[in-house]
Amino acid sequence: TLSTNEDKVSHCLSQPHVGKQLDQFLSVTSAAKHRKYWEKAKEFRIEGNHSFRGKRFQEAIEAYTQAIITASIPNSSDTAEANGELSLGFANRSAVFFQLKQYDNCLSDINNAFKYDYPLNATKLLLRKSNCLVAKARFGDAKTVLQSAELSGDLSDKQLETQINKLLETIDSKGAKNRSNCVNTSKPKTDLKFVSNELMPNASQSLRLCESPTKGRHIVTKDDINISD
């Protein structure tokens, strides 16, 4: 057992992966030592953009992460451009996570982008958030986000308007299907075998994630399940 803080720190620094992360952080801050941090963050973000366009997603994540590390917390004494870098880093990284179907990470980055005053039109970011929620079968939440996207968006952008309307149709369709799956119309089974659930990997395929105005999100079974199953 490590009894002192010094022992704990020494133990952490002796771990190869910790040393690698620390070296990476120090190299970033050292490179930015004689420059404004937001300018260095912008360089990393642009590097991430190039990687993202080239579909080199892991490289893009690393570059955007460096941008986030380097960017400063928004401050009233800084310029708007300087204050925007942190939120832009989170917003851009969320696009990579979305492509990789890492929806929880994507949602977290989108929330952080808004937390640090995302400076651009929010419609695209809200549309991405809604798509994440649809992928997680959170149709009610997705629709709420889309409605806020409609209010905050530039309605003259026909492409965005089309995407919003198409996603609303998808939400209504999948939401209705999801609600219909909550009605137990199946016959009892005597031999229930475990089949992985697409939405809940560690749950049986016999379970359904449902949503209703009165109960909210809840789980039901479409089959009779015995105690021993």
DSSP state, 146? H
**Based on the domain organization, do 195 and 158 belong to the same domain?**
no
pLDDT above 50 for 117: yes
Which has the higher per-residue pLDDT, 117 or 213?
117
**Based on the domain organization, do 171 and 204 belong to the same domain?**
no
pLDDT above 50 for 26: yes
Q: What is the pLDDT of residue 190?
A: 41
- 182 by Cβ neighbours in 10 Å (0-12 / 13-18 / 19+) ranks as middle
pLDDT tens per residue across span 56-79: 999 999 999 999 998 888 877 778
Q: What are the Cα distances from residue 52, in Å, to 55, 93, 110, 212?
A: 5, 9, 17, 38
Q: What is the pLDDT of residue 159?
A: 73
- 102 by Cβ neighbours in 10 Å (0-12 / 13-18 / 19+) ranks as middle
pLDDT tens per residue across span 138-148: 888 988 888 87
DSSP state, 216? E
**Based on the domain organization, do 67 and 90 belong to the same domain?**
yes
| pLDDT, average across residues 3-23 | 78
**Based on the domain organization, do 112 and 127 belong to the same domain?**
no
Domain assignment of residue 12, yes or no: no
What's the whole-number average pLDDT of the chain?
Answer: 79
Domain assignment of residue 79, yes or no: yes
In this structure, the strands spanning 207-212 and 216-221 are antiparallel
